[in-house]
Structures are given as C-alpha cells and as structure tokens.
Structure 1
Amino acid sequence: MKKTLLATTLLGLLSISSAQASTLVGFKVGGDYWQADTSGSFNSDDGVAQTYNYDSDAQGSVWIAIEHPIPLVPNIKIRENRLEGKGSQANSDFTFNDHQFSGATTAYNDLSNTDFVLYYEILDNDIVALDLGAAYKQMHGSIRVQDPGHPEEVDVDSGIVMAYANAEVGVPGLGLYAFADVMLGIDESSVYDINAGLGWKFDGIALDTAIRVGYREFKFDVDDFSSTTQNMSFKGAFAGLELTF
C-alpha cells in the first residue's frame, strides 16, 4: 500500500514538473502577406531627389518570438521583412554612382530588412497585453538604377536603433482583439514601421492560432544612410497568421 502511494505521488510530481517545463518557454511563429503601395524618391549624386513611378506589389514578413518567465531577461523576436519596389522614369537626366543616366530608366529600391527585438511583457491578460522594448533594424537591400545598357547599384546595409511597443486589447470569451505594433527610429528619427488591425484567436490543444488583418506603413526617410539619401514609403493592407506553442 505504501509503495503504491509513493509511486502515485512520484508520478504526480513528475507530471506537474513536466507540465511546468512545457510552459517554461513559449514560441510564436507567424507571417504576413502585405499588399503595399510604394512611393518616394532617392537623391542623385548632385543631391536632387529623383521620383519614380513605382508599381504596387506584394511584400511579406515572417517572424519568430521566444518568451520565458525569467525575471530581468528580455524576450526576443526576430522578424524578416521583404520590401522591394520597382519604378520607372521616362525622361531621366541625372548622375547616380558616378554614371550619367538619360532617357528611360528603371529603379529597383530594395529596403528588405531584419528586425532584432528585445522586449518585456509589462501586461499579459485576456483584456490588455503590453510589450515594451528596443529593436535593431538591420537593412540588407540596395538601390539599383539602370537604362537599357548600364546598371549602377549602391548597397543599403546599415542598421537603425529603434524603440518598440506592442499592445493588444481583447474581448474576453470571443477571441477578438485589436492590436498595434510600433517601431520608431532613435538614431534615424524619421524612420518608422507601424501596423494596426484586428485579430481572432482560436485556442487549441497543442497550439493556439490567430488570424490577423490590418494596415501597415514603413517610412524610410534618411540622409546619407549607407551613402544614400532617400524618402521612401511602403503602405497598405495586410493579412497574416500567427501560431503560439
């Protein structure tokens, strides 16, 4: 009898320990499809802004977040953002990267980047959730200008220190929530990446699923950043999915 009771107690303790271990670290993975309108300009070698007629195109983001209950240690989120704009100009007459362009030209402005975010959960309940932290947006794109016979390209590969905030306001029992995700440039104060919208959460046994729709804008207004000066904007509606383990 004592052996049976001891075995049952040990089994119960092991089950509790296993459950606690499984909730010690949480993972979120997700992705957004973003139909963005692209507009803006970049400067030629003489400092004159060159405006192109950019196509509206599909952009995208994927991310993973790792959350834990360890005090003072921030959670981490890594998000990869694909941002590519293609534009045309009929009557070019400027110098870019020491090459003279004239007539019809095409510009390819790649502002793809990776966000590295460290944040703390300030609030976390069914009604209000709030995360605050800091981020580093690492650019890994380029500006390429070409006419029918010659291309010139300049890499855009510097980084930006940013403030980060994420907020959610939910309706208990319905799974419906509103959200806003904000990144504001610190060393580049005219750069921001913001989105807001509505989501629906569905609780599962092994994972929770959230469907998201909203509006996002990325503003990239910089002066002598990776040897480029430009003022570009990507904005439009998006839809996405997030899984929580």
Structure 2
Amino acid sequence: MKKYCLAAALSLACLAPAAQADTLLGLYLGGEAWGAEPEGSFANKGNQQDFDFVDKNFSSFYAALEHPVPLVPNVKLKYTELKLEGSAVLNETFDFGDKSFTVGGTVNTVGDLNHMDYILYYELFDNDLVSFDFGLNAKHFDGDISVTGFANGESTTETVDFSGFIPLGYLRGEVGLPLTGLSVFAEGSLLAIDDSKIQDFQIGVAWEFIDNMAVDVAVRAGYRSMVVELDDVDDITTDLDASGPFAGVQVHF
C-alpha cells in the first residue's frame, strides 16, 4: 500500500500546475443501471479458484460539483454496486479463511465488491463541442468475500473482510454534435502497479433532451468494463472482470 500512497502523491503534484477552473458553478447528478457479465477468480491463500458467476444488473449513482475557484479541483463522488454470486466444482483443494475446501465438492461464493470513487479533477476544455477532464480517483473498497462448501467432512462458511483505498488516474472526454443534443463520451480510471491492476471505463452516447437556464437533462447509454486484479491487498488476490451495457439519466443544475 505504500506504493499506492506514493503514486497518489505524485499524481496530485503533477495535476496542480495544470489546473484550470470552470467558469460557472455546476452540479451534476446521475444514476445508471449496468448489466454486467462477471467472470474470473480469487484467492485468500494458495492458488486462485475460478468461479462461474451469475450475470446481474447493478446500480451506480454519482454527483459532481464544478466551481470557478482557480487551482482547486472539481469533485465527483460515484458509488457502484458490485455484488458477485457464483459457484465452482473444485478440482484441487481450495484454501480460504481458516478452512481447506474438499476436492470434488461444490463451493458457492458471494463477493461484496461495492465501492466508492472519490474523484478530484480539472477541466482542460469545457464547451458545447469539446470537454476534457483529468485528475485522480481514490477507489475505496470495503467489503468481504464468503465461501460456502464442505471442509473436514462438514458444511461450513468462511468469510474474509478486506478494505483499502486504491489511487487511479482519471480521464474523461466528450464531443458534442452541433444542433442535435447528441454527444459521444468516454470516461475511465486506471492503475497498474506491479501485479495489481484496476481498470474501470465507460464509452457511450448521450442525448440532452432538456436544455435551459434552470436545468439540463440527458439520457446516456453505452458499455462499461471493470477489471479488478488485486495482488495480496488485505490478504485478498483477485482476477475479476465485469463488463456489459449500461443506461442512465444525468441532471445538470
């Protein structure tokens, strides 16, 4: 985790000189439904175990505040639901928590990977045709993974808690199509340090069907992909991928 803290400090130091403030105070509120197809593996001790995860619909909500104060970054908070459920038939012993689950048995798992993104960003461009943001995202996981199956001749459930902040670089761009209310956008956060990698990005199309002095309202749809490869973070190692289409609404005051 010391390397993560160092990466966060260096990122902030690089961002400060390039700061540009927005000219108007703005509040963005949004919500999305995400149809994800999770796949991958995880471990607590020993080898990682692959699981067949159930496809699920998840929710995501965000709020962003943009202001005209020079050198002070804008702020965005984003909550993402990511609760994975799956099962596997063991072809080798699977050590998790304080138990060794039996070869040939079926194990079920529930993984709470719900998390919050704390994003500080600056606007390099901000107009009706082109906008571009860059900054730092501190992604906070505070969850647990449970495994249920047979160990030592009896059914048992083992749960391992994990928590931590992981700093990521953040980029967002949007290009508008004049006189249509349509725009295309891409947004993503990325970290790659040693054997750990977090990748969370969205690409899509937005249509602003209400645009006046009081409020702007847009519908958004596209594709979201999240890769969570953790290398012994709070005793948890993962190689997980959740990807699929999303749709939502954004309101701008």
Alpha-carbon RMSD across the aligned residues, in angstroms, is: 1.6
Matched letter for residue 132 of structure 1? F
Of 192, 208, 211, the residue aligned with 2:216 is 208
Is this contact kept in 1: 2:44–2:235, CA < 8 A?
no
Runs of 4+ residues over 6 Å off in structure 1: none
1:193 and 2:221 are equivalent in the alignment: no
CA deviations 1:179-201 (Å, max 9, x no partner) are 00010115575111001010101
1:108 corresponds, among 103, 110, 113, to 110
**Paired letter, 1:136:** A
Given residue 65 of structure 1, which amino acid in structure 2 is its aligned partner? A
Taking structure 1 as the reference length, the TM-score comes to 0.86
Is it true that 1:87 corresponds to 2:86 in the alignment? yes
What is the letter of the counterpart of residue 197 of structure 1? G
Q: Distance in 2 between matches of 1:59 and 1:106?
A: 20
Cα distance between partner residues in 2 of 1:156 and 1:201: 40
Answer with 155-164 or 234-243: which moved more. 155-164
Runs of 5+ unmatched residues, structure 1? 1-22
1:156 to 155, 162, 170: 162
Deviation per CA, 1:180-237, whole angstroms, max 9, x where unpaired?
0010115575111001010101213521001000000110011101111110011000
Counterpart-to-counterpart distance in 1, 2:75 and 2:189: 15
**Pairs within 5 Å for 1:10-25:** 24-25=24-25
Q: Deviations over 1:155-192 (max 9, x none)?
A: 12111111101100111111100000010115575111
Inter-partner Cα distance in structure 1 for 2:88 and 2:134: 42
Q: Distance in 1 between matches of 2:74 and 2:44?
A: 41
Distance 2:244 2:161 in 1: 26
Look up the match of 2:128: 126
* 1:105 and 1:146 in contact (8 A); partners too: yes
Give, as a single letter, the amino acid of the residue that structure 2 aligns with 1:156: F
Cα distance in 2, alignment partners of residues 132 and 228 from structure 1 = 30
Structure 2, gaps ≥5 residues long: 1-22
Query: For the pair shown, which has the larger CA radius of gyration, 1 or 2?
Result: 1
Letter matched to residue 67 of structure 2:
H
Q: Which residue of 2 aligns with 1:144?
A: 146
Q: Match of 2:227?
A: 219
Specify the code of the residue in structure 2 equivalent to 1:117.
I
Matched, 1:174 2:180: yes
Q: Which residue of 2 aligns with 1:69?
A: 68
Q: What is the CA–CA distance in structure 1 between the aligned matches of 2:190 and 2:99, rounded to whole Å?
A: 35
Q: 1:134 to 1:32 in 2, by over 3 A?
A: same
Q: Give secondary structure in 2 for the equivalent of 1:158.
A: strand
TM-score, normalised to structure 2's length? 0.84
* Distance in 2 of aligned mates of 1:159 and 1:126: 34
The structural deviation recorded for 1:45 is: 1.8
Q: Structure 1 stretch 86-95 or stretch 205-214: which is displaced more?
A: 86-95
Q: How many matched pairs?
A: 222
Distance (whole Å) between structure 2 residues aligned to residue 156 and residue 198 of structure 1: 35
Quote the sequence identity (%): 37
Contact persistence 1:161–1:187 (CA under 8 A): no
Call closer, same or farther: CA 1:134–1:44 in 2, change over 3 Å.
closer
SS of the residue 2:231 aligns to: strand
How far is the alpha carbon of 1:43 from its aligned partner? 2.1
